[in-house]
């Protein structure tokens, strides 16, 4: 029996094959950028929602994929969930349009890399460049970030502020009013952000070291 999750996973995989995020695929297909967002996959009363036939058809046309290839992506995801993630350099992560307001990858410029051990369909990879994060992360380290992973004290996280800054920090404490962060760079001081100044926080779940 075909499930909602299988069809949405196939859309995510179609986007990854085209080196796009789900939002990027929607834009290329001439759809609203939020068409394939996680929030659109569930109705307001909590029931799973199917993508429209029109949105699937436009996505296939935009990527040059056939219906048979799309069906194959559904079967492939059942056998091997989370087979790939999108990748961009950490230095580019702060550029405008790289993420939507949910902290999910958005826009073009992303690559796709194999990574079979993650189940979050919105997980992505960032590649560290330079030595500013030594000894925690060295040049060339790839980290996997999962927006769906629960946050715990001591987690290393990616934080995006409403001013547009994207930071890599350790989570010291999160409350309804503040976010306390520990710097991974010995030359930078720890800091506290007001909750209203934080757009999203996502946990780092794996590093290539």
The pLDDT tens digits for 107-139 are: 778 888 888 777 788 899 999 998 888 889 999
**Do the bridges between strand 124-127 and strand 84-89 make them parallel or antiparallel, or are there none, so unpaired?**
parallel
Rounded-to-integer distance, Cα 114 and Cα 194, Å: 37
Average pLDDT estimate for 67-81: 69
Rounded-to-integer distance, Cα 130 and Cα 159, Å: 20
Rounded-to-integer distance, Cα 36 and Cα 195, Å: 27
Sign (positive/negative) of CA torsion 28, 29, 35, 36?
negative
Contact 13, 122 (CB under 8 A): no
In a domain, 9, yes or no: yes
In a domain, 59, yes or no: yes
Report whether pLDDT(4) > 50.
yes
Torsion angle in degrees (nearest 10) through CA of 20, 23, 28, 31: 160
Q: Each residue of 20-35: b (16+ CB within 10 Å) or e?
A: bbbbbbbbbbebebbb
Report whether pLDDT(159) > 90.
yes
Contact 154, 168 (CB under 8 A): no
Average pLDDT estimate for 67-76: 82
Asked, as a colleague might, if the bond just before 135 is cis with ω within 30 of 0, I would say yes
Burial zone of 85 (CB within 10 Å; 0-12 exposed, 13-18 middle, 19+ buried): buried
The tally of domains found in the chain comes to 1
204, β-bridge pairs: 145
DSSP string of 29-64, one letter each residue? TTS-TTTTSGGGGB-TTS-B-PPPHHHHHHHHHHHT
pLDDT at 134: 85
Contact 158, 93 (CB under 8 A): yes
In a domain, 55, yes or no: yes
In a domain, 68, yes or no: yes
Report whether pLDDT(82) > 50.
no
What the block records as the tokens of 105 is 């990858």
In a domain, 52, yes or no: yes
pLDDT at 76: 58
In a domain, 31, yes or no: yes
In a domain, 67, yes or no: yes
Burial zone of 106 (CB within 10 Å; 0-12 exposed, 13-18 middle, 19+ buried): buried
Residue 65: which CATH number? Answer: 1.10.260.40
Domain holding 57, by residue range, is: 1-81
The pLDDT tens digits for 6-34 are: 888 889 888 888 878 888 899 999 999 88
Of 40-44, 71-75, 82-86, 201-205, the range with the highest mean pLDDT is: 201-205
Average pLDDT estimate for 167-183: 94
Residue 58's pLDDT band (boundaries 50, 70, 90)? very high
In a domain, 74, yes or no: yes
pLDDT at 189: 80
Contact 134, 161 (CB under 8 A): no
């Amino acid at each position: 029996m075909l499930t909602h999750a299988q069809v949405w996973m196939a859309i995510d995989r179609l986007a990854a094959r085209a080196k796009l995020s789900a939002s990027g695929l929607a834009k290329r297909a001439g759809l609203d950028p939020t068409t394939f967002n996680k929030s659109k996959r569930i109705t307001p009363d909590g029931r799973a929602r199917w993508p429209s036939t029109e949105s699937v058809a436009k996505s296939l046309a935009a990527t040059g994929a056939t219906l048979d290839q799309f069906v194959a992506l559904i079967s492939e995801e059942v056998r091997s969930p989370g087979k790939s993630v999108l990748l961009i350099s950490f230095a580019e992560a702060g550029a405008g349009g790289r993420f939507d307001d949910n902290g999910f990858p958005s826009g073009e410029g992303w690559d796709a890399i194999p990574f079979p051990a993650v189940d979050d369909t919105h997980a992505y990879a960032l590649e560290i460049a330079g030595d500013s994060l030594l000894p925690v992360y060295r040049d060339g380290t790839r980290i996997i970030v999962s927006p769906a992973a629960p946050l715990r004290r001591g987690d290393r996280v990616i934080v995006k502020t409403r001013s547009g800054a994207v930071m890599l920090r350790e989570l010291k404490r999160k409350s309804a009013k503040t976010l306390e962060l520990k710097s991974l760079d010995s030359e930078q001081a720890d800091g506290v952000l007001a909750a209203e100044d934080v757009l999203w926080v996502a946990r780092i779940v794996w590093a290539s070291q």
